[in-house]
Structure 1
Amino acid sequence: MRDAIVVRGGWEGHAPVAATELFIPLLRSRGFAVEVHSDLDVYTDAARLAAADLVVQCWSIGTITDAQAEGLAEAVRGGTGFAGWHGGIVGAFHHTTYHQLTGGVFVHHPPGFVHHELTVVPARAAHPVVAGIGTVALHTEKYWVLSDPLNDVLATVTFDTEPVTEPAVAAVGAAPGRVAGTPWQVPVTLPAVWTRVWGAGRVFVSTVGHKLDDFDAPEVRAITERGLLWAAR
Structure 2
Amino acid sequence: MNRRTALVVRGGWEGHAPVETTDLFLPFLEEHGFGVLVEDSLEVYADREVMGSVDLIVPSWTMGEILPAELDGLHAAVRGGAGLAGWHGGIIDAFRMATEYTMLTGGQFIAHPGDIRSHRIDIVPDRAEHPIVAGIASFSLRSEQYWVATDGINDVLATTTLTPGPDDPWHEPVVSPAVWTRRWGAGRVFVCTPGHHTADLEFPAVRTIVERGLLWAAGLLGD
TM-score by length of 2: 0.94
Q: C-alpha offsets along residues 160-201 of structure 1, whole Å, 9 cap, x if unaligned?
A: 1234xxxxxxxxxxxxxxxxx432222110101100000000
CA distance in structure 1 between the aligned counterparts of 2:127 and 2:61, rounded to whole angstroms:
28
8 Å contact from structure 1 (residues 7, 36) kept in 2? yes
Secondary structure of residue in 1 paired with 2:145 = coil
8 Å contact from structure 2 (residues 115, 145) kept in 1? no
* Aligned counterpart in structure 1 of residue 117 of structure 2, from 97, 114, 118: 114
Structure 2 residue aligned with 1:232: 218
Structure 2 residue aligned with 1:211: 197
Number of aligned residues = 216
CA distance in structure 1 between the aligned counterparts of 2:39 and 2:201, rounded to whole angstroms:
22
Gaps of 5+ in 1: 164-180
Gaps of 5+ in 2: none
- Which one-letter code corresponds to 2:56 in the other structure? L
Pairwise CA distance, 1:215: 1.8
Structure 2 residue aligned with 1:73: 75
Structure 2 residue aligned with 1:193: 179
CA RMSD of aligned residues (A): 1.0
CA distance in structure 1 between the aligned counterparts of 2:8 and 2:37, rounded to whole angstroms:
6
Q: C-alpha offsets along residues 31-85 of structure 1, whole Å, 9 cap, x if unaligned?
A: 0000000000111112211211100000011110111111101110000000110
- Which one-letter code corresponds to 2:110 in the other structure? V
* Aligned counterpart in structure 1 of residue 152 of structure 2, from 149, 169, 179: 149
8 Å contact from structure 1 (residues 103, 196) kept in 2? yes
- Which one-letter code corresponds to 2:4 in the other structure? R
Establish whether residue 92 from structure 1 lines up as the match of residue 94 from structure 2: yes
Name which one, 1 or 2, has greater alpha-carbon Rg.
Answer: 1
- Which one-letter code corresponds to 1:132 in the other structure? G
- Which one-letter code corresponds to 2:51 in the other structure? L
Structure 1 residue aligned with 2:18: 16
TM-score by length of 1: 0.90
CA distance in structure 2 between the aligned counterparts of 1:182 and 1:92, rounded to whole angstroms:
26
* Aligned counterpart in structure 1 of residue 53 of structure 2, from 51, 73, 76: 51
Pairwise CA distance, 1:134: 1.9
Pairwise CA distance, 1:226: 0.5
* Aligned counterpart in structure 2 of residue 202 of structure 1, from 172, 184, 188: 188
Q: What percent of counterpart residues are identical? A: 55
- Which one-letter code corresponds to 2:192 in the other structure? S
- Which one-letter code corresponds to 2:156 in the other structure? V
Secondary structure of residue in 2 paired with 1:189 = strand
Deviates more, 1:65-74 or 1:33-42: 65-74
